[in-house]
Amino acid sequence: MKGVLLAFLRKEFAQALRDPRMRALLFIMPVVQMAVFGYAISTEIRGIRLAAFHEPGDARARHLADRFFASGWFVPVPDRGLEPFALIQSGKADAVLVAPAKGLTRASGRGEAEVQLLVEATNAAKARAVEAYARSILAAVFPQPSGGGIALDVRVLYNPAMESSVFMVPGVMGMIVTLVTIVLTSMSLAREKESGTFETIIAAPLSVGEILLGKTVPFVLLGLADCVLVLLAGSLLFDVPSRGPLWMLALASAVFVVTTVSAGTLISTISRNQQQAMLGSFIFLFPANLLSGIMFPVENMPAAVRWVAYLDPLKYFVTLVRAVMLKGGDPWVFASNVAVLAAMAVLMASLSFARFRRTLE
């Protein structure tokens, strides 16, 4: 019994560890991911982009804005010639502090001082934190009763009820589509190699492009079908609005699905069997989900690891879906994020094509 067990142990360890790629997946990638996530993931809300509108000579409003930026929670954003609402709609600011038209100093002298705070609330947790920070800073700057006669008028935009589902459903949509397309695509080619049918495909009178299209187009269509299902479920079950045009959602979904299917195909060209393809898919999926901004704000991440988030296609898709569904679809936000996704799709599709052709040769 003991000898049989030891023989099985030696066999399984040798089979699992003989491939250098499998050893890297098992022992190196967990350490790398733990280091990245330990630095990157934080539930504390910082790096809130704040624009302050006040008269140049309004000393009291300027002092209040300086205290916001000195708190460590907010970072200044120039107005760039845009109105307060346009700054938030375009995604260039998370909040805007607006002083009275004739100046906070003059309004305070008349006892009518009111500072308006516009808050982008697609992320309900972040919006609540922004409001709490603003009230604590106002109380610290003007500690007299009722804030020294200064009231804070908070205007919550895009999610007035601050419901978490409105923020999470677009992110969950991206997670589901990423999971389905990458796992299924990567396993498909790996399964052909493992079952021995890959040689039959190679022997067929087909070009590399025809084989790749035949193996990937079905998963593109499945991914798009999942997009439609999740959108319908979000609208019917959670009352998530869709304020932007449908063609924006359709185009964003199509480009994103092509990107993730290309990523799955690239993983399959590196993997020798289904086990490697599965592990490779999950090594891609975990960082993609955690660094996408679905649960943890990208702005909170240290600059040293933030660049990893900007290599994540899911980050751009989640930004696109939230911008279109919740904010109406700002043209610049839509065009810039779709362009990045398209570039990623072209790059990964080209790498997949090159590796697959090398495999055939």
Is 119 strand, coil or helix? strand
* pLDDT of 4 above 60: no
* pLDDT of 300 above 80: no
Contact criterion met (CB below 8 Å) for 69 and 50: yes
Confidence at residue 35, expressed as pLDDT on a 0 to 100 scale: 56
Contact criterion met (CB below 8 Å) for 70 and 76: no
Prediction pTM value: 0.75
pLDDT tens column, 63-97: 888 888 888 888 888 877 788 888 888 888 889 98
Q: From the CB of residue 256, how many other CB atoms can be counted at a distance below 10 Å?
A: 31
What domains are there in the chain, each with its CATH number?
48-157 (3.40.1710.10), 164-360 (no CATH)
Rounded to whole angstroms, the Cα distance separating 22 from 121 reads 44
DSSP string of 102-136? T-HHHHHHTT--EEEEEEE-SSHHHHHHHHHHHHH
Contact criterion met (CB below 8 Å) for 89 and 326: no
Q: Which residue has the tokens 């993997």?
A: 271
Q: From the CB of residue 278, how many other CB atoms can be counted at a distance below 10 Å?
A: 16
The most confident of the ranges 27-31, 51-55, 343-347 is 343-347
Please report which confidence band the pLDDT of residue 1 belongs to, taking 50, 70 and 90 as the band edges: low
- CB-side exposure of 247: number of CA atoms within 13 Å? 2
Query: What is the enclosing helix (H) or strand (E) of 194?
Result: helix 164-195
DSSP string of 302-317? -HHHHHHHTT-HHHHH
Contact criterion met (CB below 8 Å) for 355 and 210: no
Contact criterion met (CB below 8 Å) for 330 and 89: yes
* pLDDT of 221 above 90: no
Rounded to whole angstroms, the Cα distance separating 231 from 235 reads 6
* pLDDT of 333 above 80: yes
Rounded to whole angstroms, the Cα distance separating 312 from 295 reads 14
Cβ within 8 Å of residue 266, ≥6 positions away: 348, 351, 352, 355
Please report which confidence band the pLDDT of residue 259 belongs to, taking 50, 70 and 90 as the band edges: very high
Q: Dihedral sign, CA of 176, 182, 184, 185?
A: positive
